[in-house]
């Protein structure tokens, strides 16, 4: 992997990388923040314990820089000794017809799933990219502990965080989300993406729908609790997000859920930055062991 840039940040290092992805078949970019405890140690230093890490999945139209620039997470992550990892939100450079025709499908809108429909199936493989390639890459080459990784995200990335956590509990020890798309099978964003990437047969959609996935559980997959923050001034709440459906599914599975709803907060990064510290603390507690 190629280091594109490196910046000192709260005693740690903020890095941006590019690598040739086998899963995607194209170059992919991602960012990593290493806290001071890990920034100046190699991955194979026997005298140093690798850092726990949080993987953040960003929302529609975002990229690997958005979270690191806007969320204000590095200061507390440095104090807590947490590494931060942020992938891009889709493949780029495939030059497929229609890939840039709308802001909620194609480029910047990978939805963290593996597409099965042409022409998307060849490159739009974000689920396999994250779980099978990116995480093994960063944990094998950087001082990051593969056994202590949490996942969180925003909007489309909140959908990705919830679904990947539920599908890969062996990879992720903790999960949270900001304004996630909780039931994509039942909202316009999800229906558009799933139809395009997975096909019109809705039976295939449930494997990528957090509410449906939680509904398959009879015991809590994350007994330490799931944290979701939602702004009540979010213009997408009523039509696109449906946290009440996920809340009901968690209740049925006896999954502890803290669904916090905040008056006056919208869908953007001012909202995310306002509650970032709570999410980092939530994960730090569950990744401590």
Burial 151-181 (b: 16+ CB within 10 A, else e): bbbbbbbbbbbbbbbbbeeebbbbbbbbbbb
Among 88, 209, 229, 234, the one annotated catalytic: 234
Residue 258 is a catalytic residue = no
Phi then psi dihedrals of residue 108, to 5 deg: 75, 10
Beta strand ranges found along 88-239 (DSSP E): 144-154, 174-178, 226-231
Q: How is residue 251 written in tokens?
A: 């209740």
Residue with tokens 């939805």: 111
Residue 289 is a catalytic residue = no
DSSP three-state, residue 154: strand
Q: Which helix (H) or strand (E) holds 82?
A: none
Residue 267 is a catalytic residue = yes
Q: Beta-carbon neighbour count of residue 64 at 10 Å?
A: 22
Strand order in the sheet with 226-231: 2-9, 12-20, 27-34, 83-87, 51-57, 144-154, 174-178, 226-231, 257-262
Among 267, 279, 282, 283, the one annotated catalytic: 267
Q: Which residues are catalytic?
A: 155, 234, 267
């Amino acid at each position: 992997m190629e280091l594109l840039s490196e910046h000192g940040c709260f005693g740690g290092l903020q890095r941006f990388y590019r690598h040739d992805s086998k899963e995607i078949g194209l170059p992919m970019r991602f960012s990593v923040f290493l806290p001071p405890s890990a920034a100046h140690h190699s991955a194979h230093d026997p005298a140093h314990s690798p850092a726990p890490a949080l993987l953040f999945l960003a929302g529609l139209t975002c990229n690997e820089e958005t979270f690191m620039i806007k969320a204000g997470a590095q200061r507390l992550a440095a104090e807590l000794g947490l590494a931060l990892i942020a992938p891009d939100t889709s493949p780029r450079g495939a030059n497929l017809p229609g890939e840039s025709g709308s802001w909620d499908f194609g480029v910047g809108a990978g939805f963290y799933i593996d597409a099965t429909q042409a022409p998307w199936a060849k490159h739009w493989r974000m689920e396999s990219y994250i779980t099978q390639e990116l995480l093994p890459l960063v944990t094998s080459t950087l001082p990051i502990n593969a056994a202590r990784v949490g996942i969180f995200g925003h909007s489309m990335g909140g959908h990705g965080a919830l679904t990947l956590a539920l599908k890969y509990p062996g990879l992720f020890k903790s999960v949270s989300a900001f304004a996630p798309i909780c039931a994509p099978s039942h909202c316009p964003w999800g229906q558009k993406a799933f139809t395009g990437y997975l096909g019109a047969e809705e039976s295939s959609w449930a494997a990528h729908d957090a509410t449906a996935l939680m509904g398959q559980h009879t015991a809590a997959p994350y007994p330490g609790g799931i944290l979701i923050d939602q702004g009540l001034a979010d213009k997408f709440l009523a039509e696109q997000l449906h946290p009440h459906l996920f809340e009901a599914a968690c209740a049925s599975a006896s999954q502890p859920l803290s669904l916090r709803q905040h008056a006056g907060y919208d869908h953007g990064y001012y909202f995310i930055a306002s509650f970032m510290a709570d999410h980092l603390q939530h994960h730090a507690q569950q990744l401590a062991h």
